Structure 1
Amino acid sequence: MGLIKLKNIKIYAYHGCLVEEKKIGSDYRIDLKVHANLTRSATTDNLSDTIDYVHLNHIVKEEMAIRSKLLEHAAERILNRILLELPLVDKVIIDVSKINPPIGGNVEMVTITRSKKR
Structure 2
Amino acid sequence: MGVIRLKNMQFYGFHGVNESEKHLGGRFEVDVEMQLSLKSACETDDLNKTINYESIYKTVDTCVKKDKFYLIEALANSIAKDILKDHSIDSIMVRVRKPHAPVHGVLDTIEVEIERNQADYV
User: TM-score category by the smaller chain?
Assistant: over 0.9
Amino acid paired to 1:72: E
Look up the match of 2:34: 34
Q: Write out aligned runs for 1:55-66 (5 A).
A: 55-65=55-65, 66=67
Look up the match of 1:77: 78
Q: Percent identity?
A: 27
Look up the match of 2:69: 68
Larger strand fraction of residues? 1
- Aligned mates of 2:12, 2:82 — CA distance in 1: 20
| TM-score of the pair, normalised by structure 2 | 0.93
**SS of equivalent to 2:74:** helix
State the 1:26 CA deviation: 1.1
Q: Write out aligned runs for 1:1-118 (5 A).
A: 1-65=1-65, 66-87=67-88, 89-118=89-118
- Aligned mates of 2:13, 2:86 — CA distance in 1: 23
1:90, 1:117 within 8 Å by CA — same for their partners in 2? yes
State the 1:78 CA deviation: 0.8
- Aligned mates of 2:32, 2:114 — CA distance in 1: 10
| TM-score of the pair, normalised by structure 1 | 0.96
- Aligned mates of 2:102, 2:86 — CA distance in 1: 34
Which ranges of structure 1 fall in alignment gaps of 5 or more residues?
none
Which ranges of structure 2 fall in alignment gaps of 5 or more residues?
none
1:101, 1:108 within 8 Å by CA — same for their partners in 2? no
